[in-house]
Amino acid sequence: MEKTSEEGNAVRHILIDTDTGSDDAVAIVMALHCPGVRVEAITAVAGNVPLEQAGRNARIAVEWAGPARPPVHLGCGGPMLRELTYAYETHGRDGMGDIGIPDPQMPLAAGHGANVIIELARRFAGELEIVALGPLTNLALALLREPRVAGWVKQLTVMGSAGFGPGNVTPTAEFNIWADPEACAVVLRAGIPQLYAGWDLCCGEAVLTEEEIEKVLAEGSPCAQLCLRCNRCLMELNTRRFGSPCLDMADPVAMAVALWPELVKESLPCFSYVNTGEGLDRGQLVFDWTGAAGRSANAAVVRVIHIPAMKRQLLEAIG
């Protein structure tokens, strides 16, 4: 019998795959606070920080959110074919703003992240939703080991690509795809239903402004305050980059798209491919939404979201 929430709605089963930096932590808290959602597991991958640090930070976020305690599993410690590159300038050496957050109390769970993805996709066939917040290495490995995962997963939402704007690591590429473009190529070829929320969605009017941040720090819950304080390094980076200590919350925006699909005002199905070469266009995820290539759609990309509603949902979800 299908499980239902207290409101009588069917429970949604979600797996979060993450290279847990500071904004990933916010996204994890959002999912754990969302009514009707059960986070079945969190799988860590190297990206923003080394693998063990990503697992540590995911457990910190789980403990902040409380009382749910989904298991946190370690997955791949580096890209499929590339040298590992971290994002310390964005998230700090510890990935959580270097503000001295104590180690988590909950232990890591046994089992490799890719195997956990396979196991949960099989167990919740047709129901499991995956939200990928880091490089797609764990998911690519799972698909290579068990191609049937593509048919078992209900929906994959990826924080990845530059969307319809510039990149954040090269002029055309966003970090998660750039870090392991070969993994993205595997996922695109797999036939899994996938929706990409690009970096463009969290920029411009979508950033959390200095005033909005100060309001949360003054009036928000302890969890909400920690969610923003751990993004200290990103605020410092944005002061240099954009001229103010705002927050472009890429992973929380992608999580919002996954949790509340009604926030999406426009998405486009398209044939999509990733540049796995070298140079400035490495990791560029190209969306052929005009049909110029004459190829069938293998993904969709979010073009427009309802920004005021997204901000409201995000801030309410962190407490």
Mean pLDDT of 5-12: 72
The pairing of beta strand 264-274 with beta strand 299-305: antiparallel
Can you state the percent helix, strand and coil of the chain, rounding each to 5?
40, 20, 40
Q: What does the pLDDT read at residue 4?
A: 60
Tokens in use for 219? 């009036």
Per-chain mean pLDDT for the chain? 95
Whether 145 has a pLDDT exceeding 80, the answer reads: yes
Mean pLDDT of 292-311: 97
Domains of the chain: 12-317 (3.90.245.10)
Tokens in use for 24? 């990933």
Place of tokens 């110029």: 292
Q: What does the pLDDT read at residue 318?
A: 95
Q: What does the pLDDT read at residue 10?
A: 87
Whether 205 has a pLDDT exceeding 50, the answer reads: yes
